Structure 1
Amino acid sequence: MATSETSENKAKQTCNELEIQEDFTTDIHPLYSRMSRFTVREELRSRPNRLAAIILGLLNVVFILVITGLSVHIDRVSETHNTLTLNSSRISSQLAHLQSEHSSLTESRKTLQNKLDEDTKKITSLQQNLNTMTKLKNDLSSQNQNLQQEKRKLQSQISNLEDNCGRCLPNWVLMNNTCYYFAVSDAVLRKSWAAGRQECKKNGADLLVINTKEEQEFIVDTLKTLRYNLRFHYTNGFWMGLKDDHTEGTWKWLNGTNMTAGYWMPGEPNDDNAAEDCAAVYPAAHPLRAWNDAPCSYPLKWICEKEVDITPHNPQ
Structure 2
Amino acid sequence: MSLKRRISQHFSRNAHSLFGSHPSGQERRSMCPPHRLVVLTLGLLNVVLVLAAAVIGIYCAKANDFQIPDSDVAPLIVEMNHLRNNGEVIQAKEEAQAALAREQAAHQQLKTQIQEKLAVTDALQRNIETLEQEKQMLQANKTALEGNCGWCLPGWHLLKSSCYYFTNHAPSLKKNWNDSRADCISRGSDLVVIDDLEEQQLLNENFVRRFSSAWWHNGFWVGATGSPADETWAWINNGKRVNSTQWRSGQPNQSGIQRENCGAFYYNIDRLKTLYNANCQQQVLNWICEMERRRT
TM-score normalized with structure 1 length? 0.44
TM-score normalized with structure 2 length? 0.47
Q: Choose 1 or 2 for highest CA Rg.
A: 1
